[in-house]
Amino acid sequence: MKGLRSRFERWCYQNRTKGISNLMLYISIGSAIVYLMCMFDQSYTLYNILCFNRNAILQGQVWRLFTYVFTYGAGSTNLLLIAISLVCYYSLGQAMENAWGTFRFNLFYLTGVLMMDIYAMIFNTPADVYYLNLSLFLGFATMYPDARFLLLFFIPVKAWIFALIDLALTFTDVFRLLAAGYIAYGFFPLIAIANYFLFFGKDVANIIPLSWRMNLSRLLRRKPKVAKKTGTIPFPTAGNYQATTASAKAPYHHRCTTCGRTDVSNPELEFRYCSRCNGYYCYCEDHINHHSHIE
């Protein structure tokens, strides 16, 4: 699986300039236009043309499989909240596209749309883009967990805290919908953010602070077995000689600043040093492109 992921990342890097550049800019502008049209047209004509509708899709209106991404916030009366959300999603998507490249980010968003389409068509459930846009925030927080957002425009909060709160609220929505009897739609939030786990893999652990992970690993680490003492055979000429079997820890040349793996514990990994970090910091191949730069 690791080799498959490495080939996938290499393929995305080789084609990083292909695709729709500034994808989230177009989606945010399109969503803003649809929202404003719905404010002035209470019959929601444009929304009814673009929204996801399984019966209409089966009758040939296949554009609905993709155009519902422009219906975010339609029907809401909180204009300020929708405007802030769209600007935020654009900024997060732009940051991910700059880090990943256009091709991989396009693939990330398209995969989320297709997964929602397949699930909604099979189980005949509504499909909306809210939870898919949430995966943008989770992806950004995984790449830059120490980035700060201003809560209420003046309280600085790190991105990983917001990400954990959003994940908790998502799972709360799942349990709430299931408890209300919406079995099929109850699992839709998980499907909508599944591409986040698919694309980031084990890097989702970056949301949890490194100090927490290190403390958890110490708690789960098995204590070494202590060899039982055995009787010694006395030799008159042996004096006070005592055999020593202390084995020092194997030295290493490179150690990842994020995950702590070394070229000794994981010889199959490649290690690089980040030129943007203020200092001599080393990272493994899994984190050289996905870490918070140390200033």
Query: Is 58 part of a structural domain of the chain?
Result: yes
Residue where a domain terminates, one of 206, 240, 261: 206
Query: Is 231 part of a structural domain of the chain?
Result: no
Whether residue 7 is found in the same domain as residue 147: yes
Query: Is 10 part of a structural domain of the chain?
Result: yes
Whether residue 146 is found in the same domain as residue 27: yes
CATH number at residue 102: 1.20.1540.10
Which structural domain range is residue 260 located in? Answer: 252-295
- Phi, psi values for residue 151, rounded to 5°: -75, 125
Residue 132 CB: number of other CB atoms within 10 A?
26
> Per-residue confidence at 212, pLDDT binned at 50, 70, 90?
low
- The answer on pLDDT for 104 being more than 70 is yes
- The answer on pLDDT for 247 being more than 70 is no
Whether residue 175 is found in the same domain as residue 49: yes
Number of domains in the chain: 2
95, 159 Cβ separation under 8 angstroms: no
Whether residue 164 is found in the same domain as residue 271: no
pLDDT of residue 237: 46
- The answer on pLDDT for 13 being more than 70 is yes
Weakest-pLDDT range from 18-32, 43-57, 145-159: 145-159
Between 105 and 218, residue with greater pLDDT: 105
Whether residue 107 is found in the same domain as residue 168: yes
Percent of the chain topping pLDDT 90: 22
Query: Is 239 part of a structural domain of the chain?
Result: no
Query: Is 215 part of a structural domain of the chain?
Result: no
Query: Is 224 part of a structural domain of the chain?
Result: no
Between 233 and 61, residue with greater pLDDT: 61
Q: Most confidently modeled of 13-17, 201-205, 286-290?
A: 13-17
Query: Is 233 part of a structural domain of the chain?
Result: no
pTM over 0.85: no
Query: Is 226 part of a structural domain of the chain?
Result: no
- CA distances, 170 to each of 83, 135, 195, 200, 271 (Å): 22, 11, 15, 18, 36
